Amino acid sequence: MEVPPEVAFRGLEPTDTLKELILAGIDDLEEVHERLVSCRVMVEDTTPGRSSGNIFRVRLEIGVPNHTVMVDWKPEGRDDIVDVDQAIRHAFSVGRRRLDALRDKQQATSRG
């Protein structure tokens, strides 16, 4: 990656475990698209102050040459509430699929 990853947390403590999970997710994205330029990650507790049932939102901005892949993951309903680790994994899974689709589209275009 050309630019060091940017990771921010809002409404929750940035633990080493969460940082490692995010860096592993970024490494995984680099395996999908070898020309990853940048990656910004924001993990937010949208319900700070709650002791349980917190709702986490994870946003990714993944930069590759001439494109930016955006992910804004959050639970869709009350039954979808997950812990912060799961939210991060879900967001990176979506990012991986979108990056994979972009790579396939770019390869198809370059083949003519």
pLDDT per position as a tens digit, 8-51: 999 999 999 999 999 999 999 999 988 899 999 999 999 888 87
Helix (H) / strand (E) element for 12: namely none
Taking a C-beta distance cutoff of 8 angstroms, is the pair 28, 92 a contact? yes
How many whole angstroms separate alpha carbon 34 and alpha carbon 90? Answer: 21
Mean per-residue pLDDT of the chain: 91
Task: Collapse the DSSP code of 58 into the 3-class scheme (helix H, G, I; strand E, B; otherwise coil) and give the result.
Answer: strand
Mean pLDDT, range 59-66, rounded to an integer: 95
Torsions phi, psi for 104 (to 5 deg): -60, -40
List CB contacts of 19: < 8 A, sequence separation 6 or more.
Answer: 7
Give the pLDDT confidence score for residue 49 in this predicted structure. 80
Domains of the chain, first to last: 6-94 (3.30.160.100)
Write the burial class of residue 64 (CB in 10 Å: 0-12 exposed, 13-18 middle, 19+ buried): buried
Question: What band does 86 get if pLDDT is binned at 50, 70 and 90?
Answer: very high
How many whole angstroms separate alpha carbon 43 and alpha carbon 109? Answer: 34
Give the pLDDT confidence score for residue 78 in this predicted structure. 64
Rounded to two decimals, the pTM is 0.90
